[in-house]
Structure 1
Amino acid sequence: MEEKYSISEFIKETQQEDKGQGLFELETPRMLEINLEKEIWAKMGSMVSYRGNIKFEREGVLEHGLGKMFKKAFTGEGSSLMKARGNGKLYLADQGKKISILNLENDSIYVNGNDLLAFEPSLQWDIKLMRKIAGIMSGGLFNVKIEGSGMVAITSHYEPLTLLVKNGMPVYTDPNATVAWSGDLQPEFVTDVSLKTFIGRGSGESVQMKFEGEGFVVVQPFEEVYYSEKS
């Protein structure tokens, strides 16, 4: 029994492993290992450890052009990025959330601005603000569209669930529980006054995202409140 709880046993069970999975590796379901050789974009504040020669730079105000700067100012600092450069092993995490790795191959995906953990510089990205909801929720709701080829890591509270969207069969989701969706879907926001007393939002309308067409949407079993509703 004493050996079971020894320091050496603890180290054996929890120590880092090289799994040979490439640039992005899931060291644990909630810890991302990046085998850095050049540079990577990561969520500000997500670094928990590194080894090697790695330097971190805050995202430059004009690094992505005036258009993105203005959109970022309008959305607030919700998803500040940092650039990690160098060679070594970098470990990222975000409040213990579960991490999923996606390898895009000329694909596009929208990710909730709060659920984007890291991505390769080879991918193109842009902030998409959903202004139609701004009149209902303070500041609106913003997402990041990522497209091209490369690795991207997203996070979710607990296990994510992917729902397929098919023509004639729309999918409705809670904005607070929506993590990501395929790049060819354009959700619209709908309200349902009759639901407001049933889901804890007694002052105001219930807001849902409606997805129509062909694609997928990823949700989490958690309502992540990162903006304030107007009273």
Structure 2
Amino acid sequence: MSDILNPGSLPGTDNIPGNSYAYYITLDKPWIMSRGAMIAYYGQMQFRTLMQSLQSSALSALAGTISAPMYMADYVVAEGQGTLIIGDRGYDINSFDLEDGNLTVRSANLLAFEPGLQLNQSIVPGYLTLIGTGKFLASSNGPVMFAEPPVRVDPESLVGWADCPSPSHHYDQSWISGFMAAGAAMMGAGSGEEQQFDFTGAGTVLIQSSEKVLNDNDVVRAIETQIPGLSQAGVQRILARAQAQIAQNQQ
């Protein structure tokens, strides 16, 4: 039987002893966390939407550090005193410290961060950029590996990258051979063996030990924001592509 939890046995911030799927924070200052991440807490706490907190005089300093309008509804601010325990659907939780750094992370993996970090919406769909000094938590499907560029990564295995340029797409055309394979590529079918993110320069790349994306809602929203600017032909093409993907997933 696991040890019974109590506030006295959970000092500071760390993974629950013997449990990589839950993390505890001694809440002596506000933390920004993913909506729904709270599992339990000891003490007195309140949780407000990020928009409510930006409008609060007590946390008005946040206004200059959040520049990610598409993701405002995805995060809440935890305030109060006590011990906060958070998790993410049974995925591994990792703690990272940025020191005057710059890290871009998949939004579905960003679980919580200190308000001292600046949050920006990345130009890469589905990713957020943290800038400054502070601690953040990221979930992953399996343990995280750290790789030094140059390296090519399966897009579904990528968690993020720190202090290096944004990746470019790399396609292995030799993988797409024959009429059927070429047709599948045109319809968007692919895998990490066909398409990778290519990292060059100095920095660190964070890779999860799985090819399973935790959540693609943010990529879907990024696509949705582009639809109003499309022509009728463009919308019909997107619709046809979506219908083809649905049919492929049902096979």
Q: Deviation of residue 172 (structure 1)?
A: 0.8
Q: Does 1:129 align with 2:120?
A: no
The structure 2 residue matched to 1:37, chosen from 12, 18, 28, is 28
Under a length normalisation based on structure 1, what TM-score does the superposition of the two structures give? 0.75
Distance across 2 between alignment mates of 1:25 and 1:173: 29
SS at match of 1:60: helix
Query: For this pair of structures, how many residues does the alignment match?
Result: 196
State the AA in 2 paired with 1:164: E
The answer to whether 1:25 aligns with 2:19 is no
Deviation for aligned residue 1:193: 4.2
Instruction: Check if 1:110 corresponds to 2:104.
Output: yes
Residue 37 of structure 1 and its aligned partner are, at CA, apart by 1.2
Alignment partner, residue 46 of structure 2: 55
Q: Any stretches of 5+ residues in structure 1 without a counterpart?
A: 1-9, 131-140
> Identity, % of aligned pairs?
25
User: 1:194 Cα deviation (Å)?
Assistant: 4.0
Q: Is the 8 A contact 2:163 2:204 kept in 1?
A: no
Work out whether residues 161 and 220 of structure 1, in 8 Å CA contact, stay in contact via their aligned partners in 2: yes
The letter for the 2-side match of 1:14 is D
- Contact 2:50 / 2:73 at 8 angstroms: preserved in 1? no
Among candidates 74, 88, 94, match of residue 94 of structure 1: 88
In angstroms, what is the RMSD of aligned CA positions?
2.7
Tell whether the 8 Å contact from 1:78 to 1:114 is kept in structure 2 after alignment.
Answer: no
Written as runs of structure 1 = structure 2, the 5 A alignment for 1:152-171 is 152-165=136-149, 170-171=150-151
Of 209, 220, 224, the residue aligned with 2:197 is: 209
What is the aligned partner in structure 2 of residue 82 from structure 1? 76
Structure with the larger strand share = 1
1:147 aligns with 2:162: no
How far off its partner does 1:67 sit?
Answer: 5.7
- One-letter code aligned to 2:195: V
Distance in 2 between residues matched to 1:219 and 1:44, nearest whole Å: 24
- Contiguous gaps of at least 5 residues in structure 2: 55-62, 221-240, 246-251
Give the structure with higher Rg (CA): 2
SS in 1 for 2:108: coil
| Higher normalized helix content (fraction of residues) | 2
Matched, 1:177 2:161: no
Tell whether the 8 Å contact from 1:79 to 1:114 is kept in structure 2 after alignment.
no
